[in-house]
Amino acid sequence: MSQTYQQQLQDKIERITRQFQEFNAPTLEVFDSPEQNFRMRAEFRIWHTENDLFYAMFERADEGKNKAVVRVDTFPIADQSINALMPVLLAELKANAVLSQRIFEVDFLATLSGEMLVTLIYHRKLDADWEAAAKALADRLNIKIMGRSRSQKVIIGDDYVVEQLQVHGRTFKYKQIESSFTQPNAIVCQKMLTWACDTIQGENQDLLELYCGNGNFTLPLSLHFNRVLATELAKSSVYAAQWNIAQNQINNIQIARLSAEEFTEAYRGERSFRRLQEAQIELDGYQFDTVFVDPPRAGIDDETLKLLQGFERILYISCNPDTLYDNLKTLTQTHRISRFALFDQFPFTHHVESGVFLERI
């Protein structure tokens, strides 16, 4: 590791250790990232000049009011496949007026498995000529392409990629849909999945998972439990999770399309949901001893926190240390922290991903 990366990682370690010292957590386990080529997503504006166009990003001026256009020819933090494709794609756009006309953004979604989806976004309606040119381009470059403009989406091939992640020597396949959430740092994601599985090794009953997304954690964790009930509200993520379960030939997972708040109401018997009946999910049939949560940046609402306190074990992945800190003030009233981890998903930024394993006192 370079001195610069070591220092920024050490700063995060010291900050998180300081912030959570009151909880008497064990020594922080630290999982670093590659310094370059770690990001599987990249989004660029396309900047047009009189006789040229190039990738661009915006940099805020010191006072935060004005933005400066910064030309981007390479993007070292992005996966190597994105960096290799950037100049090739740009040359193709420059050479084809149909593809370059009024284009204003290009988004890349890469995978460790080698698949690539490129989204081209326009300030104009996409017609048959565009579709023909995009199809030819996708064939030449061996990529998937999606065209977007206002109220229009044109799919060339698929609107998703299939990622493959390794956990303890087993390969898991994941459908990652364009514009849906996926972990941007695949290398660190594999470390997170492995840590989560290591943490709950042993004799387990059933697992409840809230905020399951496309089943990123659900699939490998399911191998360590009799049954898994995972909840997710976004329809596209539920669809992807169900596809992933089938593709990986896992048969002990059920998906409930409920928010965490809705599940809390259903579990307490306060509301009945047709979505549970239609999915043939009977909550009384589960014997949960562990709950896994990976909430959004806002953290967990008060009623769901009360629900979590009823479980023997809580595995909590957090993308926001501040809301994690607030939630732990409640959870540590009934549970103690057995393991505490830092995952450097976003090198050279302030952001930190954390993992906490709590067991009932």
Do the Cβ atoms of 121 and 148 come closer than 8 Å?
yes
Q: Is 294 annotated as a binding residue?
A: yes
Residue 191: which of 8, 299, 34, 319 has the closest Cα? Answer: 34
Helices 80-95 + 128-141 axis angle, to 10:
140
Q: Is 59 annotated as a binding residue?
A: no
C-alpha to C-alpha distance for 120 and 122, rounded to whole angstroms:
7
Q: Is 183 annotated as a binding residue?
A: yes
178 in catalytic set = no
Q: Is 232 annotated as a binding residue?
A: yes
Among residues 115, 163, 209, 353, the one annotated as catalytic is 353
Q: Is 203 annotated as a binding residue?
A: no
Q: Which two tokens stand for residue 204?
A: 């387990």
189 in catalytic set = no
Among residues 189, 197, 212, 319, the one annotated as catalytic is 319
Residues paired with 47 in a beta bridge: 54
Q: Count CB neighbours of 154 within 10 A.
A: 18
- The distance from CA 43 to its chain's CA centroid, rounded to whole angstroms, is 16
Q: Which two tokens stand for residue 23?
A: 């909880």
List strands edge to edge, sheet with 144-149. 67-71, 53-60, 41-48, 103-110, 116-122, 144-149, 152-156
Do the Cβ atoms of 209 and 230 come closer than 8 Å?
yes
Active site residues: 319, 353
Q: Which residues are annotated as part of the binding site?
A: 183, 211, 216, 232, 294
Residue ranges for the known binding site for S-adenosyl-L-methionine are: 183, 211, 216, 232, 294
